Structures are given as structure tokens and as C-alpha cells.
Amino acid sequence: MSDSASLPNTRSFVQEIPQEELFQALMNVTFSAVNVLRPIYDDENNELVDFHIEYLNKAAQAMIGLPEHPNLSLFTRFPKARQEGVFDFYKRVFETGEAGRYDVSYQYDGLDNFFNLSARRCGPLLLVGFNDTSNQELSAAEKALRESQEREKAARAEADLQRQQLQNILLQAPAMVCVFEGPDHTFKLVNPLYQQLVGDRPLLGKPILEAMPELKGQPIKSLLDQVYQTGESFHAHEMLVQLDHENTGHALGHNYYNFIYQAIRNIEGKINGIFVLAYEVTTQVVARQELENSHRQVQTLNEVLSDKIKELNRTQEALQQLNKELEARVEKRTHDLQQAKTESERQRKRIENLFMQAPAAICILRGPDLVYELVNPSYQQLFPNRVLLHKPLLEALPEIADNLVYKTFKQVYETGHTHEEKGLLIPLARPEDGLMEDRYFNYVQQARRNENGEIDGILVFAFETTEQVKAQKISEESAKQLRLITDALPVLIGYLDREERYRFANKAYTPWFNVLPESLIGRKVMDVVGEKAYSGVKQYIDRALAGERLTFDARMPYREGFTKYIRTDYVPDVRNGEVIGFYTLVMDVTDQELARQSVEASERQAKQLATELAITNSSLVAANEQLTRTNIDLDNFIYTASHDLRGPILNIEGLVEVLKEQLPAESLQSETINLTLDYIMDSVQRFKRTIGHLTDITKLQKEHSSAASEIDLATLIEDIRLDLLPVIKATKAQLAIDVSALPSIRFSEKNLRSIIYNLTSNAIKYHAPERQPEVLIRSYETEAYQVLSVQDNGLGIDLIHKQKLFAMFKRLHSHVDGSGIGLYMVKRIIENAGGKIEVQSTEGKGSEFQVFFRKPDLALTTAE
């Protein structure tokens, strides 16, 4: 039997084995990887969008690390399948029904090999066979490709590391840094210091005018547009930028900044963004302005940022799809590697240029000994005539060994925690003579890490602030001296800006508004003085802010129960032709104004009183005018009147008596006649009493040399008490006497008795009917006078009528019987003796009359 006859027929052999078992056996023994895919369609468009992995043979399971039935889609396991053309190959074979082959270098999703793919549609499924070259000898081209890919990866990793280091530097810089993208200037990068400008307001991804709408109308947007359109850098020095720092929606800050706008170009050289480096100088500007305002001697505090920072460009992915032909892929990979190297070198140069041309002092220290590895010119200028590069820190700067700055260097290197200081004092030796001088610095120390994440150095970003600190100290000392001077003045001194907010207030504000001066700073004047007071001075504030210097008086109702009369000066603060505020000096003239008003009121009352007297007593006015014209001495008039009128009055009195005797008895029974006769006799008696008073006044006027003697007050007052005993009992008055401080007074006994009698009798006579009368008589001494006081709890008087109180025939209480001559006589007696009488009284509570007698060694030669 031949050999061929001994072998089974192929068809019969296949028929002897079940198809499913045969398929499974073939799949398990073949060295080729096989998978079965089922298409996935989009429900809406019925478009093939993915493949479901139904089955993997053992070779495929080992090659791509999946189980036999993974229950995954193609894109779930291999996201880069579309990018590398695998999906498009599968889709084309399935939809056309034509078998196909595809070679691909797949270096994603955990794979890194060159694959040969073959595919064929089998009904509703796609059958794919594939193998890789991992177990095959690589050709020279494949080896070159692999080496090219490794070099490209290393270059890309280095570029990414440098880019990350640059971004970390910018984020940790002690200056404000941001990057804008596109013509709308959308925030792409914002470091923490820049973010602090607006608190927690979101910036990233927003155009500048959307993120900071308060910049509309300010020059920032137009400056950015100019740099974006022309590519020319813009340097700003102490520019005013007003932002809503607190995000209140209305209160804008008043801050100044130095900054640079630098165009950023892409790899084609086209402008696609702007780099911003800013540094706030508000403190320096305000300090300088304050010094200019008070001394006009302090020079500019800050130096302008000098040199440009060269462009910063983003690195861009430059990888392309592999060419079908391996040689083309090698050539492209080689080109990509060269491009990556070029880009990496460009990044390195950009970083170096950034460091070397930055206006801030930058250095890099290497290793635990902190050896200077890089020193930019700005850093070197801080230490002229010193060799820094390649020297350990303490060898280059030995004087910092015990300073905080060296301790923080060591801490940063050991812990990796970034450290920042502002205004740190670092004494350094001067290069010319070696003497130590105090210098101040702001700086950031940041750990530098290698590709393994280990700390291998420190990056330093610094600014010297010595001049700013000195200027600030001078400003503070000047402000302190100004504060001491203004606080010592008894006037309110303040300064208001254009928004009518207090920028300065001295200590005199405290008793008026019950607040400390510093708490007024930033508050609006209307909120401090109140709306009513503010409305009275608003017109003057507007005039002052318009540049007018003015002085005015005003009544200021600050609050209920607190009103002041003020005399105010407003002095505009004009700088460069613009009014930026004004000084206000407020003097309290309340006492003067009230005194003036009191005088005017007294004058009006006197005029009113004179008018009333003229109407009600025209005969006396005529007599006074006659006396004025003839200049007849008052004493002679009184003497003549008392004698000339006595006779006619006595005649009238006698005639009335005769009339009574002559009238018939019936007439005397008439009530009208008797009432008339009584009126006549009462008038005669009052006239006789008046003549008697005139006689007393005449005697008083003529007594210029009454003998003075030492009068015991207790004895004299007791005699007067006995004289007044009937009225004391009638009114149940309580009379208290305290003359222990001054037991006696040297004076005319008769006149002293008249004084005490009149004052005591008046105190009892004008008592308040609703309470028991109480009278206190006491005596005491002052430097120039012996004083006798009579105090009561009676009716009291309105002191607006004080001038009438001591006038002849004037009475303030008409319901009590009296002549109106007693107090006039008391006043004449004491004034003739060189003394005086004063009264204090409250209507409805009582009065106190104080009689001041000249002391014997100061008295006139006569006491009357």
C-alpha cells in the first residue's frame, strides 16, 4: 500500500471532527493572535462607531493582556486606535467585505511594538489576526526607529520638566504673573499673587474685561491690544489701576503698579498671547506722595523695571502619524527628534534668558553646600565686587551665617517647603570699606528637584527694598511728628479726598464724634457728621473740590443734643493742576456764637422793654427827657420832688377829711361815695410812702462818709429777725444762719442793717405758696471781698429781666405788696462803698443774692 493511501483524506478528516471543536483547537495551537469583533452602531445615525471584542485566542490573550471574553469595546481598551488608523482599517474591511492588511507601530495603552494586522469579514463579525515583532530580530530601520522614539521621549520629558519648572517659578514668584491668550486676552495662567488682586473671583478661562469689568474705561485693555497687534513690549511705571479688590461691586481700590506686557509668539512666530510681570508699588507711591506733601524732599522710591523679558512660547506636540513605509517613518522620527531637541534647547535658552534678563534678582544654588550655579545680573548687582558664581553661599556671603536668611535656606533644602520673606533685614559689608550696613530684601526660596523628584538645589527670586523701607520709616516719622503737632491743636484738622472720604483726622475729632481718629480713615464725611450737618456744608465741599479756598461759618446739628457753631477753612490740595482733595480746619465758636446771640437777645429785650415803658409810662419818659436836656442832678430832683409834693398831698388829705365832715349823712351811707373816698385816701397814702422813699434816697445820696465799724453779724441778724418776727411767724419761715467763716464785717452799721433787712424780708415776702419758706444767711471770704449771701427757696426770677431787678420802682412779682425801691437802695449802698451785688436764680426754685464788701485794706476811704 502506498504512503498516500495510508493518509486520511483531508475532507474526510475535517468531517470527522466537529467544527466548533476544530475551530477551538486551531485557535489554541496557532502562534498567531486572533480576535473576533462585533460592530457597534450609533442608534441615531446607524453609523459604525466602535467594535465589541467578542473573543481572543490564547496568543492574543498573552499579547495584549485580556481574557478570552473581555466584554470590552475597542476604544475602551485601546483609546488611541482611531489616532493610529486601526479603527479606520477595521471599519473599511467590515463595510467593503474585502480582506486587508495593515502594519502599525502602536506605542500606547501599555503596548510598545510593531504590529502586522490582517482582517476579514465573516457574516456579522470581523475576524482579525495579528502578531508583533517583539520576538523577532529587528531590522536596522526598526532599531533606528526605536532609538529615535526613545530619544524623542527623553527630549519631550526634558522639555516637559523645563516647562513645569518654568511654570512653578512663575507661580511662586514674589511678583504678580499672568499669561493672556488670544486677542480677547483670556487668562491662561495666574499666579497666587496676581489672584490676590481680586480675592476669590474666578479668572482662568475668562477674557480680561469679563473677569475684571471694572477695567472698562481704564487704559489696560487698549495697552494689551497694542502689544498684541504690534508685538512691541510695554513698560508701565507707577501706573494707577483701580480694581474691586473686595468684590463689593462699587468700591474700587487706588493702587499703583510697575509692570511689563511682553508678546508671546508660537513656533511659527505669530503672536498668540501676552506675558505679564507686575509688582505693586502702592506703598512706595503713597509714602512718596506723603513726603512730597509734608516736606517735598523725598525722591522717587522705586526704580522702573529696566530690561525686557524675552518671549515665552509654549511647546507644541509635533508628533505625526507614522508613514506606511518604515523608511519614511524612520526619517520622520529622526526629523521629530531633531525638532524636539531644538525645542528643548529653545526652552532652555528661554528659561535662561528669562532668568538673566529679569528685573528681579534670581540665582540657583546647587547641593547641600548651596553653591551658586546661576547668578543673573540683577542678583550680581546686589553684591558688587564679589565673586559669587561656583562659590558656596557662606564663602561668598560669610556675614549671613547667623542671619535668618541662611536658616531658611537650610530649611527649604531639607524640607522642600517654599519660604517667602518680606522686608527682612540682612546686614551686609560694604565693598568699599567693609563696614556693615543694614539692607532689606523681599525674597522667595524654592526647592529645585531633579527628574527623580529629589531636591538638588534652591531657586531664589529676590528684590532689594532698602530704599523703600528707609523712605517708609522717614514717612512714618514725618507722619508721627505731624500727628503730634495736629493732635496738640484745639481745632479739628482733617483731609478729605475726591470721594469725600477721610484720609487724615487729628485727635480733636474724638470728643466730638466719640471715635478714635484712625477709625475715621476711609469713612465718608456724611456718615461721620450726619446727614443734617452734611447738607449744610455740601456746597462748600463742592467748591473746595473745584479748587476754591474758602472760609465760612456754619451751624452743625451733628446729632440730637449735640449742635456746634463752627468756623471752617477749606484748603484745596492741587497737584499737577488737579484737585485731589482738600484740608479742613474746623474751629469751635459755639461759646462766642451763643454769647453773641445772648447779647442780641438782651438788646432785643431791652428795646422791647424800652418800648413797653414808653407806651405804659409816657409821663416818666417825658420827665427823663426833660432831665436829660436840663442835666439836673438826680439827687436835687428827688429832694425838690419830696419837699414840693409833700404840701399838696397833705392838702389833699386834709380836704378829704373836710369833705367827709361836710357831706350829708345820707351821702356817707352811699357805698359808691365811701369807696371813692377810700380810693382817694389809699392813693394819698401810697403817694406819702413814695415821698418817704424819695426822702430816704435823698439821704442815701447825701451820706458819703458814714462811719464804718466792725459789725458782729450774728448780733445784727438776730435784731433783724426780731423785727421780722411777725412775718416769719405768719409764713412759718425757717431762718438758718451760718457766719462761722466770717463772723464780722467792717461797714456802716445802718447801711449793713438796711442791706440785710431788705434781702431777708424779700426772701420771706416772695416765698412759694406751695412750700415752707427756707432762708439761709451765710458769710465767707474771697481774695478781694467779704461776702454776705442770702439764699431762699422762693418764687425765683427769670434772669432775662435781671436789668430791671435793681431798677428804681421796678417789681417782677406784682401780686406781692412792695414799692420796688429796696433792691435799688441795696445796690446803691454797696456800689457807693466800692462793692457789688450779684444774683443767681431759677424761676420756680429760688434765688441767692451775694453782696460783696471790699476788704478793709482794699476798700475805698468811705464805706457807703
Reply yes or no on whether the pLDDT at 599 is more than 70.
yes
Please report how many Cα atoms fall inside a 13 Å half-sphere around the Cα of residue 545, on the Cβ side. 14
Residue corresponding to grid cell 485794706: 857
Reported confidence tier of residue 801, pLDDT bands at 50, 70, 90:
low
pLDDT of residue 110: 76
- Percent of the chain surpassing pLDDT 90: 42
Contacts of 574 (CB under 8 A, 6+ apart): 547, 580
- Please write the tens of the pLDDT for every residue from 629-640: 544 455 555 555
Reported confidence tier of residue 606, pLDDT bands at 50, 70, 90:
confident
pLDDT of residue 313: 38
C-alpha 656: how far from chain center: 93
- Please write the tens of the pLDDT for every residue from 326-351: 556 656 666 666 776 666 567 666 76
- Please write the tens of the pLDDT for every residue from 185-240: 999 999 999 999 988 899 999 999 999 999 999 999 999 999 999 999 999 999 99
Reply yes or no on whether the pLDDT at 19 is more than 70.
no
Q: Are 451 and 157 in contact (CB under 8 A)?
A: yes
CA–CA distance, 315 with 313 (Å, rounded to integer): 6
pLDDT of residue 133: 66
Backbone angles phi, psi at 246, to 5 degrees: -95, 0
Reply yes or no on whether the pLDDT at 125 is more than 80.
yes
Reply yes or no on whether the pLDDT at 794 is more than 60.
yes
Reply yes or no on whether the pLDDT at 320 is more than 90.
no
445: burial class by Cβ within 10 Å (0-12, 13-18, 19+)?
buried
Answer with the residue of higher pLDDT: 675 or 756.
756
pLDDT of residue 366: 95
Mean pLDDT, to the nearest integer, of 634-648?
Answer: 54
Mean pLDDT, to the nearest integer, of 839-853?
Answer: 91
Q: Taking phi first (over 0 means left), then psi (-120 to 50 degrees means alpha), and beta for anything else, what does residue 110 get? A: left
Reply yes or no on whether the pLDDT at 52 is more than 80.
yes
Q: Are 59 and 34 in contact (CB under 8 A)?
A: yes
- Least-confidence region, from 126-135, 301-310, 483-492: 301-310
pLDDT of residue 807: 61
pLDDT of residue 124: 93
CB atoms within 10 A of CB 487: 13
- Cell numbers at residue 774, please? 427756707
pLDDT of residue 153: 62
| ∠ CA 324-327-330, rounded to 5° | 100
Mean pLDDT, to the nearest integer, of 139-153?
Answer: 63
Q: Are 519 and 505 in contact (CB under 8 A)?
A: no
pLDDT of residue 308: 32
- Please write the tens of the pLDDT for every residue from 771-789: 999 999 999 999 999 999 9
Answer with the residue of higher pLDDT: 648 or 828.
828
Cα 109 to Cα 320, 453, 712, 789: the distances in Å are 18, 25, 127, 115
Reply yes or no on whether the pLDDT at 309 is more than 50.
no
Reply yes or no on whether the pLDDT at 69 is more than 80.
yes
Reply yes or no on whether the pLDDT at 157 is more than 80.
no
pTM here? Answer: 0.31
Closest Cα to residue 856, out of 838, 837, 834, 836? 834
Q: Taking phi first (over 0 means left), then psi (-120 to 50 degrees means alpha), and beta for anything else, what does residue 641 get? A: alpha
Mean pLDDT, to the nearest integer, of 683-711?
Answer: 61
- Least-confidence region, from 29-33, 620-624, 712-716, 744-748: 620-624
- Least-confidence region, from 44-53, 126-135, 674-683: 674-683
- Cell numbers at residue 216, please? 472698562
Mean pLDDT, to the nearest integer, of 92-102?
Answer: 92
- Cell numbers at residue 85, please? 488608523
Mean pLDDT, to the nearest integer, of 484-508?
Answer: 87
Contacts of 201 (CB under 8 A, 6+ apart): 211, 247
- Please write the tens of the pLDDT for every residue from 257-271: 999 999 999 888 899
- Least-confidence region, from 136-150, 431-445, 691-705, 823-837: 691-705
pLDDT of residue 685: 63
- Least-confidence region, from 130-139, 442-451, 476-485, 770-779: 130-139
CA–CA distance, 583 with 587 (Å, rounded to integer): 13
Q: Are 376 and 355 in contact (CB under 8 A)?
A: yes
Reply yes or no on whether the pLDDT at 295 is more than 70.
no
Residue corresponding to grid cell 452734611: 534
Q: Are 246 and 200 in contact (CB under 8 A)?
A: no
pLDDT of residue 302: 36
**Selection from 299-303, 574-578, 616-620 with the highest mean pLDDT:** 574-578
Q: Rounded to 10 degrees, what is the CA torsion of 748, 749, 754, 757?
A: 140
pLDDT of residue 443: 92
